[in-house]
């Protein structure tokens, strides 16, 4: 199976980043459409890193090591949230 590491990281972190963003911006929408737009936008701003895995289980720590840490994923998600909230497509 082929996976893209940043995609794993984005799916892992979306709720955490949205939760902390909403604390400061309570009007933020987190409907399915907005969540998907945020993830797509964040992924377009992250470098792709495809790997092949023989087993279904992916270790999150290994993912972050491979892509240079969590911080850039959180930054990409945060700026994607800001963009989507300005122009929601739901």
The footprint of Zn ion (CB under 5 A) covers 29, 31, 34, 90
| Burial class of residue 32 in the structure, from the number of CB atoms within 10 Å of its CB (0-12 exposed, 13-18 middle, 19+ buried) | exposed
Closer by beta carbon to Zn ion, 31 or else 62: 31
Closer by beta carbon to Zn ion, 34 or else 63: 34
CB of 30 to Zn ion, least distance (A): 7
Whose tokens are 């739901």? That residue is 90
CB of 26 to Zn ion, least distance (A): 14
Closer by beta carbon to Zn ion, 11 or else 90: 90
Helix (H) or strand (E) holding 9: helix 5-24
CA distance 25 to 48: 30
């Amino acid at each position: 199976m082929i996976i893209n590491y940043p995609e794993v990281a984005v799916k892992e972190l979306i709720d955490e980043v949205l939760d902390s963003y909403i604390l400061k911006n309570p009007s933020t929408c987190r409907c399915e459409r907005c969540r998907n737009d945020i993830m797509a936008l964040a992924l377009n701003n992250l470098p792709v890193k495809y790997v092949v895995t023989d087993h279904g289980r992916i270790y999150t720590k290994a993912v972050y090591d491979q892509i240079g840490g969590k911080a850039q994923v959180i930054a990409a998600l945060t700026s994607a949230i800001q963009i989507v909230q300005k122009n929601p497509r739901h």
